[in-house]
Chain A
Amino acid sequence: MRTYTIALAGNPNTGKSTLFNTLTGLRQHTGNWAGKTVLMAEGEFTYGKSAFRMIDLPGTYSLYSNSADEEVARDYIIFEQPDVTIVVLDATSLERNLNLALQVLEMTSRVVVCVNLIDEAKKRGVRIDLQMISKRLGVPCVAISARNKIGIDALMEQVEKVASGEISPEPVQIPYSKEIEEKVKELQPIIAQTLGTRFPTRWIALRLLDGDEGLLKSLRERMQEPTVPVKRERIGHEQTICH
């Protein structure tokens, strides 16, 4: 049985950890990622015919390198290239949450969008047309309530399909201003020449235009030891009251 890797991304307070706990149960541990001072929980579980290893990325508002959290989450998606990235959205504040989903879609196409707190949203009079979101984003989109275990089967079904390659999503490309688009086109071939096509060139071009020097640092580290897996430092799992 193959073990697929799933990364869990999302804004803080979206119930990301609730979903993580629901899926992994007690088989989880916390680890330090690549020497950075950011804790990520990791857990294993099986669902249907497949085994999964799930990494709960730090909750962030974006995936630019504004903070150590954001850098860690971004580096994981770009460099570790998980089989599937689940983006957890809060149904009651979709606008800001979609912002993050769109950023993830620029980095990888193997994404399942998961609209959490759907029951809460219904209670508050928010109606969400999932098919429309799925159509506009170009990736599967599932509504769930992690705490009440609603929609988990549907979510995992899509995750398995994307992981196994049964469906390969074609995510929307964010249209930028003409000026930016021109510069991106200019840069893409140079990036492909320098870095190869292992990383999404459009995304890297945008980050470089953005002056994201943190990304360059990370790239440089990978280039120096391209085949060595990320070192992981285990630390004791402390009992905490604030997750």
Chain B
Amino acid sequence: MSKPYATNSSDPLDALLAVTRNAAEGNAIRDTIVSDIYRLSRSICKEAVTYEDRRKLASAYKLDKWVTSRIWGFPIMLAILGAVFWITIAGANVPSAWIASMFGVVEGYLTAGFQAVNAPDWLHGILVLGFFRGTSWVVSVMLPPMAIFFPVFALLENFGYLPRVAFNMDRLFKKSGGHGKQALTMSMGFGCNAAAILSTRIIESPRERMLAILTNNFVPCNGRWPTLILLSSLFMATGAVGGWHTLTTALIVMGMVLIGIVVTLAVSWALSKTALRGVPTHYTLELPPYRRPQFWKTILIASKDKSWSVLKRAVVVAAPAGVLTWILGNITVGNDSILGHMAAFFDPFAQLIGLDGYILMAFILGLPANEIVLPILLMGYLSSGAMVDADGIDNIKEIFLQHGWTWLTALNMMLFSLLHYPCGTTLFNIYKETKSVKWTVLSAVIPLAIAIAVTFVTAQVIRALGWV
């Protein structure tokens, strides 16, 4: 290939630039160019496109009269959010229990097999009670809700609803100094905060992008949904029975999401008044026409993709964590296991914020992935003596109650899970995207400080009022 330009320097370009700068006077040329292009497209359209009825064309937007209306906009948004959670919780209960008991049966066979070949106790402990149990808990607790939540969410997305959420909420983000597209990156966070960090690239202004990065953690990701759902179902919605129980659980989870949104706005506001000062940049948002999603195809693809990634993460992250937790829980130093010593160390502080040493330790060990916080906690509890056969949801509650849980413990664990630092993968992505140790550290420290403050106040107030 000929390279007529691959010469000595870039001088010719500078010369060229000088010539054109002379030729182009001012800004008007761009307007003329675009207007001329539009004139041509308009003339082509005039010849080639006929509209039977312009009103019919506008009918793709008919729903906006309600969905973005002054009166119904926000109620519809909340109703949809609540409905998504309700479907998820109602649909996941049975398969979760079913998968858990299936794993329980398999575990029984595995144990029998290990005994039959006279395998040493420690091997059975690591492989079955650590590796297998850790993995199976993550799968049974996480897989069903995620396999329902994400297809439903994908349907909403393909339908064209998410831009409407951004449209409805834009004023709030503007007031808090953020970018309108922050609502979109937050929606991504529902799936995975780490992926959402990459999605903040759609925000061009570095300042507003940093706000979106730093606050994305306050949107619960798929690693934290199951914790929120499980705890609110076990401890918060106890007064209600049957269908009401599911509904109350859904409302509580929704409340958590709303708290997350309020904290997002508050932190954005505070940062944009201090470390990330600046004016909101311009923004244009297209509201695409509503389109009926391909129902089954969307559901199949979304649940297949999600199930696969949940399974993969279960094996990659949860399995080693299960092994590690089992080892820590079974090596005794003095009169207690290492795990017990660690929990005892954290306990005094944890009690101040309404948690206990095991919970705090589970969050710390769970840094690589939020999915494993709950399994680590359960294994921690189990290794500390109270051997319960935990193959059902009710038994999980038994374990918690035996360790002195109240609804305050559950509430504060939910709040801590919602607010605390992002997972290791997300932090790694934040570092990759910002190339700044300072902001990466801040993106963990700010949420942690908020989580501690909120749980501390909650615990102290509720105890002072004598509610627990």
Contacts and interface: CB of A to CB of B under 8 A. Distances in A.
Nearest to A240: B195
A41 interface: no
Contact of B37 (A12, A102, A129): A102
B36 A177 contact: yes
Given A180-B29, A196-B4, A210-B24, A187 B198 contact: no
B50 to A, nearest CB: 5
A238 B288 CA distance: 25
| Among A13, A101, A242, residue most surrounded by chain B Cβ atoms (within 10 Å) | A242
B49 interface: yes
Interface string B183-223: 01001101110110011010010000000000000000000
B53 A125 contact: yes
Name B's interface SS.
helix
B386 interface: no
A91 to B, nearest CB: 9
Interface of A: 12-13, 37-39, 64, 67-68, 92, 94-96, 98-99, 101-103, 120, 124-130, 132-133, 136-137, 147, 172, 174-177, 179-180, 183, 186-187, 190-191, 194-196, 198, 205-206, 208-211, 216, 219-220, 223-224, 226-227, 235, 238-242
Contacts of B17: 208, 216
Contacts of B157: 241-242
B326 interface: no
Interface stretch (B38-46, B242-250, B272-280): B38-46
Contacts of A205: 20
Contact of A132 (B24, B48, B153, B188): B48
B29 A210 contact: yes
Contacts of B29: 180, 209-211
Contacts of B294: 147
A187 B21 CA distance: 11
A242 B162 contact: yes
Interface of B: 1-6, 10, 12-13, 15-17, 19-21, 23-24, 27, 29-30, 32-34, 36-38, 40-42, 44-45, 47-53, 56-57, 59-60, 150, 153-154, 157, 162, 184, 187-188, 190-192, 194-195, 198-199, 201, 204, 286, 288-289, 291, 294, 302, 305-306, 309, 433
| Among B3, B23, B150, residue most surrounded by chain A Cβ atoms (within 10 Å) | B23
Given A239-B192, A239-B306, A240-B188, A99 B37 contact: yes
A208 B13 CA distance: 11
Nearest to A126: B51
B428 to A, nearest CB: 11
Given A180-B32, A187-B23, A209-B29, A120 B291 contact: yes
Contacts of B305: 239
A147 B3 CA distance: 43
A183 B23 contact: yes
Contacts of B10: 220, 223-224
B16 A191 contact: yes
Closest 6 CB pairs of A and B: A125-B52, A196-B4, A98-B41, A208-B20, A241-B191, A132-B48
Contacts of A195: 4-5
Contacts of A208: 16-17, 20, 24
Given A13-B288, A209-B20, A238-B194, 7 more contacts: A64-B30, A95-B41, A125-B52, A126-B51, A176-B33, A195-B5, A223-B10
Contact of A211 (B24, B192, B194): B24
A209 B24 contact: yes
Contacts of A238: 192, 194-195, 198
B36 A175 contact: yes
A127 B6 contact: no
Contacts of A147: 294
A206 to B, nearest CB: 7
A136 B39 CA distance: 13
A208 B22 CA distance: 11
A239 B19 contact: no
A241 B153 contact: yes
A175 B5 contact: no
A120 B305 CA distance: 28
19 contacts: A12-B286, A96-B41, A98-B40, A126-B50, A129-B48, A129-B49, A132-B48, A133-B48, A176-B36, A177-B32, A179-B32, A183-B23, A187-B23, A194-B16, A220-B10, A239-B195, A241-B150, A241-B187, A241-B188
Given A68-B204, A216-B17, A13 B286 contact: yes
A128 B49 contact: yes
Contact of B41 (A102, A132, A216): A102
B48 A136 contact: yes
A129 B49 CA distance: 6
Contacts of B32: 176-177, 179-180
Nearest to B297: A147
Nearest to A117: B291
A239 B153 CA distance: 14
Contact of A210 (B33, B41, B50, B191): B33
A98 B60 CA distance: 21
Contacts of A130: 48
A242 B302 CA distance: 11
A106 B21 CA distance: 21
A186 B23 contact: yes
